[in-house]
Structure 1
Amino acid sequence: MGLVAEFEIDCDALPLVEVAAAVPEAMIEVAIQFNHGNRPPFIAHITHGDPDAIERAFESGAFAAEYTLVGRAGETHRYQILPAVGLEAKLGEQIDDLDGLRALATTDAIIERIRVTSSGWIQTGWFANTDEFDMFRRFWQQNAGFSLRRLTHDGEPEEPGDGLTDPQREALRTAYEMGYFEIPRTASLDDVAGELGITASSLSERLRRAQTHLIETTVASTWPPLPV
């Protein structure tokens, strides 16, 4: 029986991490079109965030040679990004084991979702067995940072609940109770962060991940597809 895993890779050399860091309110998901040669295009779905700030981040970073807005639905913008360099070249200064990176492409696995954060990627995927998953785990543990968020057998129901971590739930509840989500707001990001005893940037990341998860598990599946 296969495995379904969600894990976080802590590696700021991964593509588009600099965009997530520059526009922390944006939620970024990417798909890689691997059948397009050594520099496969990326399709990025970006929700929230000022489009001008996002495009400035594309232009100031070293990854995107070209980008094109190919669709829009509400606050979600879809971009096609043509990389200036391939994934190996992008990671080459930080990762010595490029043979190991290439070997990941041969595993019996399907990466179904990639979320970009200000420190790396959160990936969700299917793996044929424990050995295939362990190849991913060992590589990223040895070359960057790896933390497992969820691991279940394929077809096994997930644990009941909203799927949020305790810190995410506390951040959402505190922000709501203090008026951060009211219109107009009666509490700032700094106010809520002070109440929780964390930095404003940490709170922003925590809220963004919590909101992304709730959107993905509730209304995202009912959205119409983005126009091409």
Structure 2
Amino acid sequence: MTGTIVEVTIPAEQFALEHTLGELETVTLEIKQMVATNRDSLMPFAWIETDERTAIEEALTNDESVADFQLIAELDTECLYQLEWVARIDHLIRILVEENGTVLAATGQDDTWHLRLLFADHDAVRNTTEYCENNGLDFTVNNILEFNTDHRNRFDLTETQQRALQLAAERGYYSVPRDSTADDLAEELGITHQALSERLRRAHGNLVDQVFVESTGTREPPELTTGESGEDTMAE
């Protein structure tokens, strides 16, 4: 199996923070980490670039999709918040949990969310798309990127970083609850727990820096085809 990265857009009114994005029209919310703790809970950490902290917190307080929020850090004109969303925001959470998908990054601007999702295989992408369609969620797929050698170079990933990401996706490391631990992955790769954590951290950072900084494309997604995992050429 090869990992698959999917670029999608979702209307804010069907997902989260519609009120906040509407009140702060010039503000962009950038989700740096989104953790699904169970089938009904998704805890995002959001960077918000603005010099109007009072307006931000007033909007979050009045946003029906936000159960609670906490200021984590404030740097110049950027604020980092941990958000707790209400239970109704469960469509995307449920299917991501079931299909072992993970949110690499997400940006909310105006009335739309742009997401980069990582799945272990094509079936998970199809199942997610079908689930959203059946539940009335406008889950628009703009691009599908195969996690092969060409895209490894595009994402500025080393062979060992790509191998670690692929193995983590294939073994259910990103599922909730996890089917595989960091120790399991490290043992299979023949490296230490610390080395694995650092490798995944750098790989995630490269994906965000090299992929998510670009605007989401509007071209039709390519036809899904089965690719080679390339494991024989990715030894440590």
TM normalised by structure 1 equals 0.57
2:80 maps to 78
Q: Secondary structure at the match of 1:105?
A: helix
- The CA RMSD over aligned residues, in Å, is 3.2
Cα displacement string for residues 51-73 of structure 1 (whole angstroms, at most 9, x for unaligned residues) = 22211111212233332211122
1:140 maps to 132
Q: Distance in 2 between matches of 1:41 and 1:104?
A: 14
The answer for unaligned runs of 5 or more in structure 1 is 92-97, 161-212, 219-228
Give the counterpart letter for 2:4 in structure 1.
L
Cα displacement string for residues 160-206 of structure 1 (whole angstroms, at most 9, x for unaligned residues) = 9xxxxxxxxxxxxxxxxxxxxxxxxxxxxxxxxxxxxxxxxxxxxxx
Percentage of matched positions with identical amino acids = 15
Give the counterpart letter for 1:138 in structure 2.
E
Q: Distance in 2 between matches of 1:74 and 1:150?
A: 34
Q: Distance in 1 between matches of 2:103 and 2:64?
A: 25
Cα displacement string for residues 69-94 of structure 1 (whole angstroms, at most 9, x for unaligned residues) = 111223221012234x32xx246xxx
Equivalent residues, number? 156
Cα gap change, 1:140 to 1:103, in 2 (>3 Å): closer
Q: Distance in 2 between matches of 1:11 and 1:123?
A: 12
CA contact (8 A) 2:8 2:114 kept: yes
1:34 maps to 36
Q: Distance in 2 between matches of 1:120 and 1:106?
A: 24
* 1:112 matched to 2:110: no
2:222 maps to none
The answer for unaligned runs of 5 or more in structure 2 is 155-208, 215-236
TM normalised by structure 2 equals 0.55
Q: Distance in 2 between matches of 1:78 and 1:29?
A: 9
* 1:50 matched to 2:44: no
